[in-house]
Structure 1
Amino acid sequence: MEYIKEIHINEAIIHILDNSSEEPVINEQYLELNEDTYKFLLRHVDRCLKDEELKYAVFNQERNIVKDLSQEYLGGQNSLLEISKELARQMFILMKSRGNIASGDLLIVSIATEYGPMLGIMKMDYIKNYTHAIEFVDNKIGINIVPQFTGLPASSQKIQKCAFIKPLQEGQDFNLLVIDKSNNKEKDEYGSNYFISNYLGCTIINNKRDITKAFYNAAETWTRNKLNEDASTQEIVRSTIQKKLKQEDSIDVKALSEDLFKDQYEAQQDFVQFVSASGIDETIAIDKEWVAKKLKRVRLKIDSDIDLYINEETYDDPNRLEFQRNGDGSINIIIKHIINYIQK
Structure 2
Amino acid sequence: MLGTKDEIRIEQAIVHILDSSLGMPVLSDVVLDCGSDFSDFLKGHIFKVDSSDEIRSCTFQKESSVFHLAEEWNPEKFIEITQKIAGELYTIMNQNIDIPAADLLAVEYRVEKHRYLALLKMNYKTSYTHMTNSDPWGNNNDIIMQKAILPGETQKLSEAALIDLEAPQYVRLVEKKYDVNGVKTNYFSKLFLKCSGALSSKTKLAIVNKAVEEVQKKYFNESEQFEVRMETKSILNEEFTQQGGFEVPVVIDKIFKEHPEMKEEVQEKLEKYNLKEATVEPQNPNTTKKFTKQHLMTDTGIELKIPMEEYNNKDRIEFITNPDGTISVLIKNIGSIESR
3-state SS in 2 of match to 1:197: helix
Q: Aligned partner of 1:215: which letter?
A: V
Aligned to 1:193: 186
State TM-score, norm by structure 1. Answer: 0.78
Aligned to 1:260: 256
* 1:139 positional shift: 5.4
Does the aligned pair in 1 maintain the 2:294–2:311 contact within 8 Å?
A: no
CA distance in 1 between counterparts of 2:85 and 2:298 reads 52
Q: Please give the per-residue CA displacement for 1:218-276, whole angstroms capped at 9, x wherever unaligned.
A: 3244445654322334334443454456557534269717x7352x5554444444444
CA distance in 1 between counterparts of 2:2 and 2:131 reads 45
Q: Please give the per-residue CA displacement for 1:258-300, whole angstroms capped at 9, x wherever unaligned.
A: x7352x55544444444445x3543332427468961563241
* 1:297 is the counterpart of 2:292: yes
CA distance in 1 between counterparts of 2:157 and 2:233 reads 33
| Structure 2, unpaired ranges of 5+ | none
Return closer, same or farther for 1:51/1:187 CA change in 2, 3 Å cut-off: farther
CA distance in 1 between counterparts of 2:14 and 2:295 reads 45
CA distance in 2 between counterparts of 1:19 and 1:335 reads 58
* 1:306 positional shift: 3.7
Question: What count of residue pairs does the alignment treat as equivalent?
Answer: 331
- Given candidates 155, 158, 181, the residue that maps to 2:176 is 181
Return closer, same or farther for 1:100/1:317 CA change in 2, 3 Å cut-off: same
Q: Please give the per-residue CA displacement for 1:53-88, whole angstroms capped at 9, x wherever unaligned.
A: 2112111132x2211112222xx4653223112212
Q: Aligned partner of 1:68: which letter?
A: H
Q: Aligned partner of 2:162: which letter?
A: F
Counterpart mapping for 1:274-285 below 5 A: 274-276=269-271, 279-285=273-279
| Structure 1, unpaired ranges of 5+ | none
Return closer, same or farther for 1:268/1:44 CA change in 2, 3 Å cut-off: closer
Q: Could you say what the CA RMSD is over the residues aligned between the two structures, in angstroms?
A: 3.7
Aligned to 1:150: 148
Aligned to 1:324: 319
Identical positions, percent: 21
CA distance in 2 between counterparts of 1:60 and 1:250 reads 29
Aligned to 2:163: 165
Q: Please give the per-residue CA displacement for 1:69-117, whole angstroms capped at 9, x wherever unaligned.
A: 12222xx465322311221222222222334432221100122236932
Does the aligned pair in 2 maintain the 1:60–1:201 contact within 8 Å?
A: yes
Does the aligned pair in 2 maintain the 1:212–1:285 contact within 8 Å?
A: no
State TM-score, norm by structure 2. Answer: 0.79
Does the aligned pair in 2 maintain the 1:120–1:163 contact within 8 Å?
A: yes
CA distance in 2 between counterparts of 1:253 and 1:235 reads 18
Q: Please give the per-residue CA displacement for 1:6-29, whole angstroms capped at 9, x wherever unaligned.
A: 433232111112223243222222
